[in-house]
Amino acid sequence: MTIPLLLIVYALGLSIAVARAGYRSGGARTSDAPLPSPTRVLIVGATGGTGRRLVEQALERGFRVTALVRHPSKLQVEHQRLTVIKGDVLDAVSLDAAMQGQEAVLSALGHKRYFYPNRILSEGTRNVLRAMGTHGARRFVCMSSLGIGDSAGRMGLYYTLLVIPLILPFYFWDKARQERAVAGSTLDWTIVRPGALTNGSKRGSVQHGGHVGSFIWTVSVPRADVAAFMIDQLASSAYLRTAVGVA
Ligand SMILES: NC(=O)c1ccc[n+]([C@@H]2O[C@H](COP(=O)([O-])OP(=O)(O)OC[C@H]3O[C@@H](n4cnc5c(N)ncnc54)[C@H](OP(=O)(O)O)[C@@H]3O)[C@@H](O)[C@H]2O)c1
């Protein structure tokens, strides 16, 4: 009886810590006015599950796309409007090269180094923000997760009591710092917080807002729909300088 009780206390403590460390007061639509649509977009995390869909869909929608990738052979997309730059978000030089001429950045940065403390998400995102400031790119749409900031608990009980405390505590802590870094910038940012990601086919619409997710059940969303929603945000001020849940 003591171990489950300790786990619950630890899990709730972690949820509170991640709620306080992440961005809060998100979710309310801020405006319905369109933003000028960028034409040149840098995609960070482009070889990942969501990143690849971002690349494909952004190309389909007519953007000039630059993909910053660590391993170009993993991308497997060729297109006349696609430029691939080999680099790393932890390396300012490659980021600088990738940011030249960009108007907007879509980030689907993630990693699998769950089991030790690191700052890949927060430090990498700070570097992206710095490079955006230097090169005059203003629109930043950054993927985070339900469960952070004022969406704490909204990944459902399975994640809140088991997955986050046992597998993802360091990852979620760094994600909370990543959100803070984004929210602290003066750029035109939007934090997108999806539920559990699937590789299912695109459904064409998502639920979005500040009250998305469930404190009991795990809500999910196809990566393809998250990518479409993120691209939609480029020319929308609906969630400008706030965080939005997507499921
Ligand atoms: N899985 C879920 O259910 C879930 C739910 C909510 C939110 N999220 C979040 O959504 C985001 C996207 O998830 P995903 O599963 O689609 O992504 P993913 O497949 O894990 O891909 C992550 C991407 O980030 C890149 N990356 C990692 N470290 C990098 C570095 N130092 N420099 C440059 N690029 C780097 C990876 O490159 P390589 O290919 O070279 O490794 C990869 O392209 C993540 O932040 C994730 O935590 C996930």
For the whole model, what pTM was predicted?
Answer: 0.96
> Is any atom of ligand 1 closer than 6 Å to the C-beta of 86?
no
Written as six digits, the tokens of 71 are: 């391993």
Hey, which bits of 35-175 come out as E strands? 40-44, 64-69, 82-86, 104-107, 139-143
C-alpha radius of gyration, the chain, whole number: 17
Give the largest CA-CA distance in the chain: 61
Counting Cβ atoms within 10 Å, is residue 105 exposed (0-12), middle (13-18) or buried (19+)?
A: buried
User: Which residue stretches of the chain have pLDDT < 70?
Assistant: 1, 26
> Is any atom of ligand 1 closer than 6 Å to the C-beta of 203?
no
* Protein residue with its CA nearest to atom 35 in ligand 1: 45
Give the pLDDT of residue 35.
85
Give the pLDDT of residue 1.
64
Question: Distance from the CA of 1 to the center of ligand 1, in angstroms?
Answer: 37
Give the Å distances, CA to CA, from 185 to 47, 156, 171, 174, 238: 26, 30, 21, 17, 18
> Is any atom of ligand 1 closer than 6 Å to the C-beta of 49?
yes
> Is any atom of ligand 1 closer than 6 Å to the C-beta of 113?
no
> Is any atom of ligand 1 closer than 6 Å to the C-beta of 147?
no
> Is any atom of ligand 1 closer than 6 Å to the C-beta of 74?
yes
Give the pLDDT of residue 30.
77
Domains of the chain plus CATH, in order, are: 35-246 (3.40.50.720)
Which residues does residue 155 pair with via DSSP β-bridges, in sequence order?
A: 214
Give the Å distances, CA to CA, from 11 to 16, 84, 89: 9, 41, 31
